[in-house]
Amino acid sequence: MKNQVTSIYKQAERFADITKKSIISGNIVRAKKCLALAERLFINGSMETKNAISNVYIFSVSSFMEVRHCNISHLFPQTLKAEYIKQVNTSGV
């Protein structure tokens, strides 16, 4: 069980990697499904889950998309998009 994911933050990181690989391969339908699932976890999850989605998943996926000059406005569901905007405004970017 060498590859076993041990924490919710590692799971969020792995989930972000899956989402980014979907975007790279052009599988936007799968990427949107991943983002929709992340939004459900963010809305309905425990405080720890919400923190992992916000601090690991959203940060990782949005950073990746900005570096690659992807337009995130049509991909991110409403709640995740609002959290992303909150992060950007907090960072002063």
Taking only the tens place, the pLDDT of each residue in 6-63 is 799 999 999 999 999 998 898 989 999 999 999 999 999 999 999 999 999 999 998 8
User: Contact, 65 vs 84, CB < 8 A?
Assistant: no
- Residue 91 pLDDT grade (very low, low, confident, very high; cuts 50, 70, 90): low
Token representation of residue 28: 């936007």
CA angle, residues 22, 80, 70, in degrees to nearest 5 = 45
Distance CA 63, CA 6 (A): 24
**What pLDDT is attached to residue 6?**
73
Q: How far apart are CA 38 and CA 49, in angstroms?
A: 10
Split at pLDDT 50, 70, 90, the class of 3 is low
